[in-house]
Chain A
Amino acid sequence: MIEERTFEELQKELQEIVQRLERGDVAVDDAIALFRRGEELYRACVERLHAAELRIEELGSPESPRT
């Protein structure tokens, strides 16, 4: 599920979790679950940054027929 989402979405969810925990109106059990989720998101984000070198793919030039 994390794989399908954009970096931006993952980072946003992570920030929301941090803000919720910082607000403090969270039960202990929930806090731990949120922390685990945050950790998972953080690792996923970091991993994305570790991806390979700049990849360049040529698309060729698709000239459309004149209409």
Chain B
Amino acid sequence: MAKIEPVVYGDRKVYTVSAFNRGVARFLGRLPTLWVEGEIQELRRNAAWANVFLTLKDPKTGATLKVTIARTTFDRLELGLAEGETVHVSGRAELYELKGELGLRASTLERVGVGGHLVALERLKRELAAEGLFASERKRRLPQVPRAVGILTGADTAARGDFIATIGRRFPATKAIVCETRVQGRGAPDAIVAGLRALATHPEVDVVVLTRGGGSFEDLLPFSAESVVRAVATCPVPVVSAVGHEQDTPLCDLAADARAATPTAAAALVVPDEHELRMALETCWQRLGVSVRTLLERDATGLARQGERLRAAPRLVFERRRAALDHAGARLQALSPLATLARGYAIVRAGGEAVRAAEAVTTGDRLEIEFAAGALGARVEEVRP
């Protein structure tokens, strides 16, 4: 390390600006690594830069501090920080020699408190919702009877046990493919995404269930990680999310095709009740028998009726003709004078001619009166023209 030498002007020692800065920088370098809490006032990250620059603010006094952190370190943390969030930064005091600016060289930083996470979560939720990842029209119907059920679970024996016991009870013919993976802490999102992919590409898996028992807000955070939410939304088979307790809503719940409050409820969603299924099948079987019998019987009676009609046909033709004949006969009857006589009229003849007026005859003439039945011989006693 180069010694910092002043220039001597008589009894005065004078340092150059850079020597002064370097000297102070060295002095600061002896300070220990410590944690600093502040609110992010400014965050500048550029993929072309080696460092990420932050300005931290003390929310009480407004005092500010410049922080630098290596971009690769910052990116690996995957915090998705935004301005306004509160962080804890671990680092040492540092002087930027060229400008004589004091700063904090950070080795790591953490978001502070649930509040910060909530802000980030809300932002991610809004972004993914705007992309349509949670849209109800994206939701797929779960298979009624999956060939195999994929289960992604942590080392949580209770959740896993509940789930398996329930599918075993409801539908013993199920095949369950279990993928146990890391579900909390750093690296959990990647592990969950990989597990999900492995299950979904299994040739028999028709539905995947994410199970995880309850946990703290932070414990459940991996199920809200963007990579996990996207993997759930784009999973080739339907996904059921049974993460945490009823009151928790990790973002994967919103992206999943169905959501269950407990592992037991999830099991009820992914496999049918065998007993109910059997009943439905038996009903179907009975209806099949009844319907085909009804159909055949109906056909038999239909046939019998056809035969009857066929046999009746010639007689029918004959009857129809006779009816027509009867009708013609009746009309003929009506026109016949005999029919008139039948109604009480009589024909009066004199000398073989029908008498149409009283003056056609004279007193003493002989008349022939013909009735419908029989005739009379008569003489005229009086003429009244």
Contacts and interface: CB of A to CB of B under 8 A. Distances in A.
A54 B288 contact: no
A59 B187 CA distance: 19
B91 interface: no
Given A60-B179, A61-B191, A63-B194, A54 B174 contact: yes
A58 B96 CA distance: 55
A24 B294 contact: yes
Interface string B232-261: 000000000000000000000000000000
B176 A56 contact: yes
Given A18-B291, A28-B299, A54 B274 contact: no
B interface, size bucket:
35 or more
B295 A31 contact: yes
Contacts of B187: 63, 66
Given A6-B145, A54-B176, A49 B284 contact: no
Nearest to A28: B299
Interface string B171-215: 011111111111000010011011101110010001000000000
Contacts of A61: 179-182, 191, 194-195
Contacts of A45: 281
Nearest to B145: A7
Chain B at the A interface: SS class: helix
Contacts of A15: 284
Nearest to A51: B173
B177 A64 contact: no
A21 B295 CA distance: 7
A50 B198 CA distance: 29
A53 B145 CA distance: 15
Contacts of A42: 281, 284-285, 288
B363 to A, nearest CB: 89
B336 to A, nearest CB: 57
A67 B147 CA distance: 33
B260 to A, nearest CB: 19
B296 interface: yes
Contact of B164 (A28, A52, A54): A54
Contacts of B295: 21, 24, 26, 28, 31
A54 B284 contact: no
Interface of A: 6-8, 11, 14-15, 17-18, 21-22, 24, 26, 28, 31-32, 34-35, 38-39, 42, 45-46, 48-64, 66
13 contacts: A8-B145, A14-B281, A17-B288, A18-B287, A22-B291, A28-B296, A28-B299, A45-B281, A49-B281, A54-B167, A59-B177, A59-B199, A64-B197
Interface of B: 143-145, 147-148, 150, 164, 167-168, 172-182, 187, 190-191, 193-195, 197-199, 202, 206, 274, 277-278, 280-281, 284-285, 287-288, 291-292, 294-296, 298-299
Closest 6 CB pairs of A and B: A21-B291, A7-B145, A64-B194, A51-B173, A59-B179, A61-B181
